Each structure stands twice: as C-alpha cells, then as structure tokens.
Structure 1
Amino acid sequence: MNMLINGAFVPSCTGAVIEVTDPYTGNLLDTVPSASKEDSDQAVEAARRAFPGWSRTPVFDRACLARRFLSLVETNREDLAACLSRESGKKIAQSRIEVNNILLSWNLFIEKARHLYGTILPPGLEAGQAHNLVAVNRVPLGVIACILPFNFPCNLFSQKVAPALLSGNCVIIKPATDNPLTVLRLGALLKEAGFPDGTIQVLTGRGASLGDILASHPKIDAISLTGSSEVGIHVAQTAAPTLKKVMLELGGNDPFIVLPDADLDAAVKEAVTARFFYSGQICCAPKRYLVHSCVYEAFLEKLTRAVSGIHCNDPMSEEPGMGTLISE
C-alpha cells in the first residue's frame, strides 16, 4: 500500500519498502514505502501550497467534509477494525471500540471548531487607546506533523488530525512503522470525502529517520508526538533549532493504589483490565501496585487467580482472551 502525497498514492522515490506483518501469524500483510527526505520535502511543499486555500475555507465547509469522512468510516468500520487487529495483534472487540472512537472524537472536534471564538478588547485598556476596539481572532498555524504510536493509531489519529484540519491547518501524518495500514486507509477515506489535495499527507517510514526529518524540517510549523519519554526528548531537541511548536504526550508512572477499605473484587477486575488491555502495551497501564499491608495477601490471591485465567488467542477471534505483542 502506497503513501499519500498531494492527493496521490505513491511509492518512495528510492523504491525502498517496509514489510508489515501479522504479529500473530508472522505472515506478510503488505509492504509500505520507506519515505526519504525527497518524499518528505514533496509532502511538505504540497501542504504549504494547499494551506492558503484551506485556511480560508469556512469552518462550516470543513465540517461538512469531516462529516462525509465519518460517513465513510461508518460504512467501512468492520474492515477498518479487521485491518487494525491483523496488523496490531489487538483483539477484534478492542479494535471495534477504537474505530468507533473515531466517530465520537471527530464529532466532538467538529462541534468544538464551531466555537473557536475570538476576543474583543474594550477601549481604554492602554494609554492612547480610549477609542480603539481591538478584535483578536484565532488563525490556523500552518503545516502540522502528527507522529502516531502503534498502540492506539485510530484514537491518536483522531486526536491529532481532526483538530488540526478543522481549525484550518494542513497535516502530515506519520503512522507507526509496525502498523501503518489502518492509518493509510483512513487517509484514503479523507481523500474520498473530498478534502483538497495537499491538506492531508500520510508518510510511512521508520521513526528514527522519518521522525527526525519531520522534526527538523524548517517548513513544518508544529509537531505533535505520542510516544516514549526518550523519543519525546529527542524530538524536542531536534525541533528546537527551527522554533516550531512541539506537543508531546509521553510515558507515565501510573501507580495502582489499593487502600484497606477497597472492594477487592472490583479492584482486581480493574487491575487486570488496566494492566492487560491490549497486552499491556499502553502508556497509562499500571507500572506499580501499591497495596496496603492489611489487604495485601487477599488482593494478591485474587489477582493471581484472575491473571492465571488470561490466555492468548487469535486477535480475530470473538472468544475472550489476550492478543499478541506488536513485535518480539
């Protein structure tokens, strides 16, 4: 599956590709381009050309395109969920929830975009301004790079791309190396919905190379990353010379605290879900369990019994269980 640059699905200029495999079976699902600096430059230039027209497009018209996109997601939701499960190792029930979250998130941002009001500063706030009424309006920033993680590509696609597009920015989306296919399909649906060429680019490649290119690019105005703290520090340092805006959502500490008066059955159920949802590959999954000494033994016994009942099985199976890790 090719990447999306200026409204066309294209290979890399170099012809280099990355294999995408099913982490459960090990089978090859597809290949995607490994974007080069030349590919990235083409995407950035396309976005910059599209920005003047898109930034002047009324919010109402942007919202109409977004709703058309959501209609296409609704039509293709089962195919999207299946694609996400196969390339991510995520249980199909969890993938369906994530695809449904696209509808929830985009509708929220559509409504929010209609309320990006300006501010009126009354006369007389400064010397010599007794008769001046000042209007402050929000304006689009420009070209925004959105770097997505592997664990919740649809959720983070929505949280980064929807507000950027609806507020009049152009986006360059970099999905995770291991599971880019669902995001590429979402890019295709955005194109099908009628978003102008250049407003959306989807570049595939390895984070260490493509991420650095985007973070350091002088014609990208902001970068939004969800990933590890180490990668976040690196991206911030790489972006610093260009003074672009940097938005980071990074790893957490996440203690799970059990107090003496806790309902232990409820605590264990929550502890297992929080730690083992998507095979534990979540930044906010509990890293430490702090259990009061007076309930420690009882909690441990119940937790051990619950965890022993978890079994890995086919991510596409409707049976309860846990999927696979994204990679070895």
Structure 2
Amino acid sequence: MNSSLHHLSWDLIGIFVAVAETGSLSAAAKQLNQSQPTIGRQVKAIEAELGVSLFYRHQRGLGLTEDGEALLPHAKAMHAAAAQFLLHAEERKQSGFAGSVRVTASQVISNYVMPKLIAEFRQAYPEIQIDLVPSDDAQNLLFQEADIAVRMFTPTQLDIVAKKIGETPLGLFASKAFLERVGMPMTREDLFALDWIGYDRSDLILRGMQEAGLEVDRDFFSVRCDDRVTYWELVRAGCGVGLGQIGIGVEDDSLVRLELEDPLPALPVWLASPHTLKQIPRIKLLFDFLAEKLPKLL
C-alpha cells in the first residue's frame, strides 16, 4: 500500500463525498462553506494522493469516473464513521446543561419566530449558549452542521430523531398602506387584479398556483425575490399581495390577511436532531422546549 495513503486527510474524503453527491464544485463549496477554487484544488489533491481520476466534466457539472464510482461507497462509510466518532466524543465530553447548542431554521422562522423563543429559553437557562443558523438549505445534522433543525419537510437522514410538532398554515397578506392605495378586494377577480409578489428563480409559488388551476406565469408577479425574509419585507412595505405563514402575518399590525374561498395548504413542521446528540442534556432540554413552544407561534 502506498504509504502516503496513511496520511490521507479526513477532510479530503469529506470533500470527495460532497462533490460526488452535489455534482458540482460550486454546490459542494456552498455546502461546505468554502470557496469553489479551494474545493477544486482539494479535489486535485485527493486524486493526486490516490493516483486515480475521480471525476469527469460534463455540461451540468461533474460526474464520477469508474474509479470514483467504485471508491464512493467506501468514502461515504469512512466519512460517516468519522462523524460518529465526533458525535460520540462530544457526548462523552459534555455533561450537564452548560455549553452551546447549534440550531438551524428557515430564514423566515429564524427572523420572525426564533428570537422570542431564544430570549425566553435563555432567561430560564442562561448557562446554555445558542448558535442560530438561518438557512433555507438542508443542513446535515449527522456531520454536526447543527444540533437541532427546524424543518418544513419530513427529515430523511438516517440516525436522526425526528418529531412532527405541528403544521403552519399559509395565507395571503397585504399591507394596510397598500390596500388603502388600491382598495380592498371584494371578489376573487379583484384580488388577482392587484400587484402580486412572487419568487424569482424558484418556481414554488408559481407552481402551486398553477396546480390550483390558476392560469398564471412569471410575468403575473409585479415584484420577484427569492430571499424569503426580503420577500416578506416587500409585502410589509406595500409592494403587493404575498404569501406567508399565518402565525407570523396575523401578529403584524401593518398587515391584513386576504381570504380566499379555498384554504391554502399548510407546511409540516418537524424538529430533528442526531440520535446520539439528543441524549446530551442541554440539547434534549432545548429540543423539548421548542417542541412545546414553537407550535403556538406558527
């Protein structure tokens, strides 16, 4: 065996797995919070270390070579083993409540819901520090990117403890200033004649409206933005009608909820945490606190 393989970095193995799973250097760089050139150099480093080519380029990014396909299952197993090693080490190291807990939630939940809950929790447990990670990307709990995740979809990772804590209904909202300017819509036709706010590159809202039988396209939206917090601020500023979580919208005195004949679908709300980490007292404490308090604010 090549003696240099004894010094093969665990980080390089993780980068190989990330690039293989995402299919591009840019996506892997975003997932790992590194620059694309850095990921590119590290891919070259692991190929040089192993003496084989792992990827080939195609129009959509990077694909696995035959050698890459053969090595990927072993790299995943090594990466998972390293993650489990770190998780168990953390579990052995920590006892009691003192320490930090890393929580990830969507941009909207992080901005408009979590601050109230963190303030209440910290009043009761000042010895526990909270790291809040606002993100609409699915953080990898297994590899300690977060200790607890608030998900708006069913978690599918293995070795994850997941608990559905409720649903958050969606509604249509517009600012009072906007409605004073254009008038309150009295019919469905009036409502769809107003300015609407949609997403830009994401087709989530557009697809949902089309599936509901509404004949709309991208040009139906007068203003478009993919960032969820900025989107909500556009609604609050009076740029048009927008979609939002009812629990957040009704708490805002500057907004008016606009009723449709048919209710909009609700989003499921899940809490998730790695199985081993959830046994750490401070993580279990915050997990149970969020399971009790979060549904009341959604």
Same fold (TM over 0.5): no
User: TM-score if structure 1 supplies the norm length?
Assistant: 0.29
User: TM-score if structure 2 supplies the norm length?
Assistant: 0.32
More strand by share: 2
